[in-house]
Structure 1
Amino acid sequence: MTILRLGDVGADVRELQRLLRERGAQLEMTGDFDAATLAAVRAAQARYGLVVDGIAGPKTLLALQRDTRQPAHLSAADLQRAADVLEVPLAAVRAVNEVESRGSGFLADGRPVILFERHIMFRQLKVAGRDADALARQYPNLVNAARGGYAGGAAEHMRLARAADIDEACALAAASWGLFQVMGYHWERLGYPSVQAFSACMRDSEAAQLDAFVRFILADPVLHKALKARRWPTFASLYNGPAYRENLYDVKLARAFARYDAEEKEPA
């Protein structure tokens, strides 16, 4: 997955600059992602209705190639609606989207990004009254008390399909879905009528995936309060777990928020 940022150099940047020039930007094809390229990327993102972050990822590159935003992709308006619902500055939602999302909620073939968790499948089967231990002996890569067995990418859908043959509801609940990798087993707490309905929404669009994330925040008053107060260490600890410091999630969130906040306060 190609993701280009300010400071990057090379052939991929030169191709980005070629696409930007093709769409009307006045740029030299230097292969250097400089301030002029950043401005051109932001202008293109704004024109296509994409999230304006100056980062040229797959969605920006695809929009430039096709000269249009794909309907399933997240838009700037989607982020504004999320900010309004959460009652936080737009910069806060932009920061969380940059740091906590996977960059794209869908695979190249149009299926949502998922990760199947066999240890959650084991737990869900127990809750459903199934003999999880016997199933774990029969399908250790799909049902297991321990984490693991990941295949990554499109292969995760193969694992999910095989697990669904064992128990569809448990399998859907045992996968994390979309941009923000919200676990399926949260479906009831987040207000979905069923795990199947939750799964269908996650297959629909990145806007629907963002809505699931917003519901996740609203369902946890402490997490919501931390976001509203921009207490990034608390937010990162609750959302990412105790290992958040290893990946500097709180630092990344604080820096992204400061950058977007300053940008939004710049005079037009």
Structure 2
Amino acid sequence: MAVTIIKKGDHGSAVQDLQRRLNMHGGRLTVDGWFGDATEAAVATIQRRAGLVVDGVAGPKTMEALRGEDSSHRLKEADLQAAADRLGVELACVKAVNEVESRGSGFLDDGRPVILLERHIAYRQAKAADLPVDTMALRYPNLVNPTRGGYAGGAAEWSRFDNLRSVTSQQIAVEACSWGAFQVMGYHWARLGYPSAQAFRDEMSHSEDRQLDAFIRFIEADPAMLKALKAKKWAEFARLYNGPAYKENLYDAKLAAAFAKAERLAA
């Protein structure tokens, strides 16, 4: 199931429903189905009240808060502040990366962490393990392939994970995926101080604050990336964090916009 995210500029019945829910919690919105400044401010108020990350975007976490559900496994504003303090960067910097990378949640509706299997990484890791990668690429091109692609998205990525694990190994399957809210690749597990690939998977499956810890470790392990984040050099940071394909996805522009919004909502 796709994660529903409602944000500024959206319109329609989903926005109307959101506005009605916000009004039940003290909002004074006109239920017009248009997500403008007032709706964004009302969402931020609810997030602030619940201790959630204040980004003005109504994703799964905000809807949980509006429904009165438990959000103890979710990232809190205080968690991002602690991360910013540890890294020595502005809070808005961490919030920008969180907004752009997380797409609303580090978990699927069924409780499993969000993953994305990178078949070209599976090819590389399987080749390093002396597996017959070229034969695999012919038989399972969406799982093992020298080129990126083959994505299914959402919960379907877990089917790809299970299939890759069955033809390679648990470790290679973990290493070939990006994990959680911050999409940290599994093959970094040893570099980031985890005792095994399985231990990394277990941490990413626990809570969003454990996923945040992986992000912090990832930034700390790369002085150039940390320097770019501190200086808010978004193109350089995006290149180091997402790879050269960042330009295709406009990650630098998205990060700059998310940073500006985080500063605005904090004012």
% identity of equivalent residues: 59
Partner of 1:62: 64
RMSD: 1.9
Q: How many residues align?
A: 264
CA distance 1:157–1:128, shift in 2 (3 Å): same
2 CA distance for matches of 1:33 and 1:139? 44
Q: Which moved more, 1:131-140 or 1:29-38?
A: 131-140
Could you give the per-residue CA deviations for residues 224-266 of structure 1, whole angstroms, max 9, x where no partner exists?
11111112221122222333334332233223323323543x3
Partner of 2:133: 132
Query: Can you give the 5+ residue segments of structure 1 that lack an aligned partner in the other structure?
Result: none
Alignment correspondent of 2:89: 88
- CA 244–141 in structure 1, closer or farther in 2 if over 3 Å, else same: closer
Instruction: Provide the C-alpha distance between the structure 1 equivalents of 2:245 and 2:144, rounded to a whole number of angstroms.
Output: 25
The 10-residue stretch of structure 1 (81-90 or 100-109) with the greater mean CA deviation from structure 2: 100-109
CA distance in 1, matches of 2:91, 2:230: 11
Q: Residue 171 of structure 1: CA displacement?
A: 1.2
Q: How many Å separate the matches in 2 of 1:148 and 1:262?
A: 36
**Is the Cα contact below 8 Å between 1:173 and 1:184 reproduced in 2?**
yes
Alignment check: 8 A CA contact 1:50 1:69 kept: no
Q: Displacement of 1:194 after TM fit?
A: 0.4
2:116–2:157 Cα contact (<8 Å) kept: yes
Q: Distance in 2 between matches of 1:250 and 1:240?
A: 10
Alpha-carbon offset, residue 29 of structure 1: 1.8
Q: Distance in 2 between matches of 1:23 and 1:106?
A: 26
Residues 1:141 and 1:98: Cα distance change in structure 2 (over 3 Å) = closer
Runs of 4 or more above 4 Å deviation? none
Residue 135 of structure 1 and its aligned partner are, at CA, apart by 3.3
State which drifts further: 236-245 or 212-221. 236-245
Contact 1:48 1:69 in 2 (8 A): no
8 A Cα contact 1:59 1:73, kept in partner: yes
- Spell out the pairing of 1:103-118 with structure 2 (5 A cutoff): 103-118=104-119
Shift of the 117–248 alpha-carbon distance from structure 1 to 2, 3 Å rule, reads closer
Give, in whole Å, the separation in 1 of the partners of 2:252 and 2:154: 27
Relative distance call for 1:26 and 1:190 in structure 2 (3 A) is same
What amino acid is the match of 1:170?
I
Residue from 194, 199, 202 that aligns with 2:201: 199
1:247 aligns to what SS in structure 2? coil
User: Which residue of structure 1 lines up, in the alignment, with residue 230 of structure 2?
Assistant: 228
What is the DSSP-based 3-state SS (H/G/I as helix, E as strand, rest coil) of the residue aligned with 1:7?
A: coil
> Do 1:102 and 1:180's aligned partners in 2 also have CA atoms closer than 8 Å?
no
What's the counterpart of residue 239 of structure 1? 241
TM value normalised by structure 2: 0.91
* Post-superposition offset of 1:79: 0.6
The Cα shift of 1:157 comes to: 0.7
CA distance, structure 1, for counterparts of residue 264 and residue 23 of structure 2: 28
Aligned match of 1:172: 174
Residue 150 of structure 1: SS of its match in structure 2?
Answer: coil
Quote how far apart the aligned CAs of 1:159 are.
1.3
Q: 1:247 to 1:131 in 2, by over 3 A?
A: closer
Q: Which moved more, 1:124-133 or 1:42-51?
A: 124-133
The residue type paired with residue 164 of structure 2 is A
